[in-house]
Amino acid sequence: MKKIIIASILMISGFLNAQNFQGMAVYESKTSTADFMKGMGGNREITPEMQKQIEERMKKMFEKTFILNFDKTASIYKEEEKLDAPGQQGGGRMMMSMMGGGGTHYKNAKDKQYIVDKEFFGKEFLIKDSLPKYDWKLEGESKQIGNYTCFKATAVVKVSESDFRNFRFRNNNNAKEGDKKAETVKDTAKAKKTNFTDDWEMPKENTITAWYCPEIPVNQGPENYWGLPGLILEVNDGKTVILCSKLVLNSKEKVEIKPASKGKEITQKEYDETVKKKMEEMREMNSGPGGQRGGFRMGGGR
């Protein structure tokens, strides 16, 4: 068995040493919708039929397929292209971007830089920034992912405030008490300012678990994950799981690995602030008199 593993590593090392080495990995990304549905639960305006429709739409939005093309130093990570379903224009595209999809994610481990193009409210942005430095803790635990032996690593990471997958439902009883008080307020305008987004919070940090494959000694992975002594085949942050379902090494079909170049150049921090500011504006509009409780719509339809 050890001879087979050693032979496999030597064969893959030969691929890596090839001048035009390139690999392709397919990842399935799934995000739990439990928190989001819990947040919707307190909205009396949502009927059971509406809730079922929302659940089905959210499931499609939170289950995505991505392709990672990589060489020895760089990679591009992009959502698999699909024909737009009805209602996925406009607001639907915006929500895709805020849920981790849309655009091309380029990482260069040698230059320690990443470049991502994003579309937000009709504006195109080109996010350029330094790759995050992960303080990986290599664990002794291992498991099989497909035909590959992977090893566990954990790290505490700073969350992106523009990625809505990171939102957590605030678990406290004060919100319910606040709703009861709001119902007794004589000024109905003040009562209407209560918004379900008040029950959400964005954590500053998150603990992630990654599984990497030393047999494929490139320090790449899905999204912004990198820096381990092997390709990352699985990432779990407790809410979103990204799992490799297919891996191809040195295919005859080569993909040009280069970053996007279109859009307003901006740092990650500046982009996060832009998104936060716009969402606060929407929150204020929907919380005021005549506003729609529930914030933004989940789809792009009218």
For residues 160, 163, 169 and 174, what is the CA-based torsion angle, rounded to 10 degrees? 70
The residue count for the chain? 302
As a whole number, mean pLDDT of residues 107-122 equals 92
How many domains, in total, are found in the chain? 1
Residue pointed to by tokens 């992009």: 78
* CA–CA separation, 61 and 132 (whole Å): 26
Could you read off the pLDDT of 150-202 as tens digits, one per residue?
999 999 988 776 776 666 656 544 444 444 444 444 444 444 444 545 566 66
The reply to whether 5 falls in a domain is: no
7-40 pLDDT tens trace? 444 455 555 555 678 999 999 999 887 656 665 5
pLDDT (0 to 100) of residue 293? 45
Q: CB of 52 within 8 A of CB of 298?
A: no
Residue 293 lies inside a defined structural domain of this protein: no
Query: Which tens digit of pLDDT belongs to each residue from 55-108?
Result: 777 777 778 999 999 999 999 999 987 655 444 444 455 555 554 456 899 999
Q: Six-digit token pair at 114?
A: 């990443």
Residues β-bridged to residue 208: 155
- pLDDT for 266 beyond 90: yes
Q: Is 119 domain-assigned?
A: yes
Q: pTM of the prediction? A: 0.74
Tell whether 157 is covered by a domain: yes
Q: Is residue 302 part of a domain?
A: no
Domain extent for 110: 20-287
Q: Output DSSP code: residue 180.
A: H
> Does residue 89 form part of some domain?
yes
Q: Give the model confidence (pLDDT) of 209-228 as tens digits.
A: 999 999 999 999 999 999 99
Q: Distance between the two ends of the chain, CA-based, in angstroms?
A: 60
- Is 12 domain-assigned? no
Domain-embedded: residue 300: no
CA-closest candidate to residue 219, choices 163, 141, 136: 136
| pLDDT tens-digit readout, 121-153 | 888 999 999 999 999 999 989 999 999 999 999
Which whole-number Å values give the CA distances from 14 to 8, 11, 17, 174, in the listed order? 10, 5, 5, 61
